[in-house]
Amino acid sequence: DSGVTQTPKHLITATGQRVTLRCSPRSGDLSVYWYQQSLDQGLQFLIQYYNGEERAKGNILERFSAQQFPDLHSELNLSSLELGDSALYFCASSVAGTVLDRTGYTFGSGTRLTVV
Amino acid sequence: AQKITQTQPGMFVQEKEAVTLDCTYDTSDQSYGLFWYKQPSSGEMIFLIYQGSYDEQNATEGRYSLNFQKARKSANLVISASQLGDSAMYFCAMREDPYNQGGKLIFGQGTELSVKP
pLDDT of residue A97: 61
Closest-CA residue of B relative to A36 is B107
- Whether the per-residue pLDDT at B1 is higher than 60: the answer is no
pLDDT of residue B19: 97
pLDDT per position as a tens digit, A64-92: 999 999 999 999 999 999 999 999 999 99
pLDDT of residue B73: 96
Kindly give the parts of chain A with pLDDT less than 70. 96-99
Instruction: Determine the Cα–Cα distance for residues A107 and A25; give it in Å rounded to an integer.
Output: 9
Task: Report which residue type is found at B14.
Answer: Q
Distances (CA, A) of A71 to A20, A48, A52, A109, B109: 17, 16, 9, 20, 34
Q: Tell me the nearest-neighbour CA distance from A37 into chain B, angstroms.
A: 10
pLDDT of residue B17: 97
Instruction: Determine the Cα–Cα distance for residues A114 and A14; give it in Å rounded to an integer.
Output: 8
Give the residue from A4, A100, A107, A112 with the most B CB atoms within 10 Å of its CB, the best one to mutate.
A100
Average pLDDT, integer, range B39-57: 93
Provide, as residue numbers in chain B, all residues whose Cβ is less than 8 Å from the Cβ of A26: none
Q: Are B70 and B52 in contact (CB under 8 A)?
A: no
Cβ neighbour number for residue B17 with a 10 Å cutoff: 12
Task: Report which residue type is found at B51.
Answer: Q
* A23-39 residues labelled b (16+ CB within 10 A) or e (exposed): bbbbeebbbbbbbbbee
Helix, strand or coil, per DSSP, at residue A97? coil
Chain A with chain B: Cβ pairs closer than 8 A: 77
Instruction: Determine the Cα–Cα distance for residues B5 and B56; give it in Å rounded to an integer.
Output: 23
Q: Tell me the nearest-neighbour CA distance from B22 into chain A, angstroms.
A: 17
Provide, as residue numbers in chain B, all residues whose Cβ is less than 8 Å from the Cβ of A107: 37, 44-45, 47
* B82-115 residues labelled b (16+ CB within 10 A) or e (exposed): beeebbbbbbbbbbbbeeeebbbbbbbbbbebeb
- Residue numbers of A between 78 and 97 with CB closer than 8 Å to B: 88, 90, 92, 97
pLDDT of residue B99: 63
pLDDT per position as a tens digit, B17-39: 999 999 999 998 888 899 999 99
Please name every residue paired with B52 in a beta bridge, in sequence order, or none if there are none. Answer: B33
A48: nearest CB among B32, B104, B107? B104
Task: Report which residue type is found at B27.
Answer: T
Contact B96 A48 (CB under 8 A): no
Task: Report which residue type is found at A1.
Answer: D
pLDDT of residue A56: 87
Instruction: Determine the Cα–Cα distance for residues B75 and B36; give it in Å rounded to an integer.
Output: 9
Instruction: Determine the Cα–Cα distance for residues A46 and A48; give it in Å rounded to an integer.
Output: 7
Provide, as residue numbers in chain A, all residues whose Cβ is less than 8 Å from the Cβ of B44: 2, 107, 109-110
Average pLDDT, integer, range B44-59: 93
